[in-house]
Amino acid sequence: MEILGYLASIIIGLSLGLIGGGGSILAVPILVYLFNVHPEQATSYSLFIVGFTAMIGSYSHYKLGNLKIKSALVFAIPSIISLLFVRKMVLHLIPDSLFFIESFEVTKNLLIMVVFAFLMIATSISMIKKNKSIKECTEVNYKMLAIVGFLVGLIIGFLGAGGGFLIIPALLFFADLPMKQAVGTSLFIIFINSLIGFGGDVLGGVPLDYKLLFIISIMAIVGLLIGTQLSKKIDGAKLKPAFGWFVLVMGIYIITKEIFF
């Protein structure tokens, strides 16, 4: 099972390299189902794996001139505040056992996985749908960029993932960035948010298997390098629907497994 998990970890980076997102949406299910990591702990692992991989990707985009630092910081600073608030003040306050529906117990772990699955389904639908022509703004709307950043930080804080496909549209609409710059800037924001969130978890005493973290991160970086090379030959937009169907199936599988089995 672990060998399958390591191979699946390549897909985390492959997605980030090809379409600038999607890796984080896969990390938690891979950790929970293939490595038997506790769901709450898996959100911490995901923050490091995705953040470290995004750091490598954002540096590559920086060299290509696709990284807009000011827009990234306007988005990242409020998202970091909300992310740390959720992970330090909210997540640990949720009791392990929430309530019962007759004899069925709704636990904290179940809540995390089901919310994550619904986010996967929502993300997959947005990827599968054919995008109509997007009318981007003609000037940077820093106020809206900061507001969306704060909201995205709440999601990343609770789930340890799910930021990429929310960040890129925000950069397209409110930062007046072309797609390539939105992808590069998104990776930089993901890197900042994820590693700061992970640092907060480490200071909070979250137990971690650093050997596992290191190996999965290396595999994800291999996927990132492959995806970056493929992106020069393959249009990432054409791959989104296929990847969306894959994420949709995984989301439905998680809900089915957690609720019915």
Report the chain's mean pLDDT, rounded to a whole number: 83
Interatomic CA distance for residues 15 and 19, integer angstroms = 6
Torsion 249-179-176-57 (CA) sign: positive
Interatomic CA distance for residues 90 and 158, integer angstroms = 8
Segment 229-257, tens digit of pLDDT: 887 777 656 666 777 787 788 889 888 88
* Rama region for 106: left / alpha / beta (φ>0; ψ in -120 to 50; rest): beta
Residue among 106, 86, 90 at smallest CA distance from 98: 106
pLDDT of the residue at 160: 67
Going from the C-alpha of 251 to that of each of 92, 109, 208, 257, the distances in angstroms are 25, 16, 26, 10
User: Does pLDDT of 150 surpass 90?
Assistant: yes
Segment 62-116, tens digit of pLDDT: 888 888 899 999 999 999 999 889 888 888 788 889 888 888 888 888 888 888 7
* 3-class state of residue 261 by DSSP: coil
Structural domain including 154 reads: 2-260
Query: By percentage, how much of the chain surpasses pLDDT 90?
Result: 17
The region of weakest confidence among 14-18, 200-204, 254-258 is 14-18
Number of domains in the chain: 1
User: Does pLDDT of 223 surpass 60?
Assistant: yes
pLDDT of the residue at 73: 93
Interatomic CA distance for residues 87 and 226, integer angstroms = 33
* 190 in Cβ contact with 75 (< 8 Å): no
Torsion 43-67-135-240 (CA) sign: negative
